[in-house]
Structure 1
Amino acid sequence: MIVVRAEPGNLARLIKFRTDTAAWLRPRGIDQWSLSFPPEQMAASIARGEVYLFKEHAAADAAATVTLDREADDLLWTPEEQLDDALYVHKLTVDRAHAGAGLGARILDWAGNRAAQAGARWLRLDAWTTNPQLQAYYLSQGFRHVRTVDDPEVGGSGWVAQRPARAEPGWPDVDLTEGHNGR
């Protein structure tokens, strides 16, 4: 796998990740991502260089995506917690064709490695409150549940967790090297 920063031309693919995942979750009784996400917000994240695509090779379609930033949601993280240096995982999505191969875990390790390299203490995320399978997955990846925020303003994603940012020798087990976006 290679990792490349998303570019404006990838916006349609990023939206498709979200709609495909919502369609897969819906018959399972999970309403995660059922509301559309403003494309202009996603475009702004792309412009800031916070959105990454994971690909088999440079010419391949993206197998997964993640947004990694320093944006703590004031509704989810306390002012004291926001004083801690942290990177936040958002919109981690693996294409169904690549599901079950451990790619999500490798992306979380990649994000934790980037957080450690940036001097952050924590890798943090939030998950859909009505998706216990996703919550269990994050717990199995070493995250510790901090709290569940029951506030309509959080839009359903009020389960918050964190794990220490860590750079590990020999990381990762699969070569996830920064790509050059075909330039």
Structure 2
Amino acid sequence: MKITLAQPSDLPKLLAFREEAAAWLKDVGSDQWSRPYPADRLLATIEAGTVFMLWDQAVAAGTITLSTEPEDGLWEHQELAESSIFINKLTVARTHAGKNIGGRLLDWAGDRAHRAGVTWLRLDAWTTNRALQQYYLCHGFQHVRTVTEGDAVNGGPRVSGWLAQRLAKSAKHGFVDETSDGERGV
């Protein structure tokens, strides 16, 4: 399997991943990702060079987004003083579920961050998705806190405020990495 930077032509596949994941999450009782993700926002992250695709030959098997920018209102000032890479939108195609692809993508992200001299691999997860939180804990992340107060935009509760981190470290992930390390800062 190989990892590449996502291209604008991958947008339909990435939107389909999100829809497929939302349907699966609904089947297991979660409302996570129940609202469609705006295609223009996803295209902007692709064009920024922060979205990565995992390919199993010609089949898209997964995706992960890595950013040096945290989501507003989640991490505290002293935490942001430490170098971090933030994981977003980790998704594995249902055809590749149960093969530890997600865990290997997390290892790839941690290895990439480590080689870039970054201290932390951080993420925020859906606040009510206990199974997802447990998944990250099983992959070496430590729960930092859960942000539940209203956000600045609409005053409502945070739906993705479960914060976790693990040290960035060298890892064997088994993927062929066809990206440039540190491209566009990630």
TM-score between the two structures when normalised by the length of structure 2: 0.89
Residue in 1 aligned with 2:102? Answer: 104
Instruction: Map residues 8-157 of structure 1 onto 2, 5 A cutoff.
Output: 8-57=8-57, 60-153=58-151, 155-157=158-160
Alignment partner of 1:178 is 2:181: no
Alpha-carbon separation, structure 2, partners of 1:27 and 1:137: 18
Matched residues in 1 for 2:48 and 2:11: separation? 14
Query: What is the distance in 2 between the residues matched to 1:14 and 1:151?
Result: 30
- Aligned match of 1:165 in 156, 163, 168? 168
CA contact (8 A) 2:127 2:158 kept: no
Contact 1:65 1:92 in 2 (8 A): yes
Other structure's SS at 2:71 match: coil
How many Å separate the matches in 2 of 1:29 and 1:14? Answer: 22
1:155 Cα offset (Å) = 4.7
Quick one: structure 1 residues 111 and 118, their matched pair in 2 at CA, closer, same or farther if it must change by over 3 Å? Answer: same
User: By how many angstroms is 1:175 displaced?
Assistant: 3.1
Please give the secondary structure, in 2, of the residue aligned with 1:166: coil
Aligned length: 175
Unaligned runs of 5+ in 2: 152-156, 181-186
Q: What SS does the corresponding residue of 1:84 show, helix, strand or coil? A: coil
Structure 2 distance, partners of 1:9, 1:88, is 24
Mapped contact 2:54–2:63 kept (Cα < 8 A)? yes
CA contact (8 A) 1:147 1:161 kept: yes
Structure 1, 38-47 or 105-114: larger mean CA deviation: 38-47
* Equivalent residues of 1:64, 1:93 under 8 A apart: yes
- Mapped contact 1:122–1:162 kept (Cα < 8 A): yes
Measured after TM superposition, the shift of residue 104 of structure 1 is 0.6
> 1:61, CA displacement in angstroms?
2.2
Aligned mates of 2:179, 2:144 — CA distance in 1: 34
SS of the residue 2:124 aligns to: strand
| Root-mean-square deviation over aligned CA pairs | 1.5
For residues 136 and 76 of structure 1, the distance between their equivalents in structure 2, rounded to whole angstroms, comes to 20
Preserved CA contact (<8 Å) 2:92 2:102: yes
- The secondary structure found in structure 2 opposite 1:17 is helix
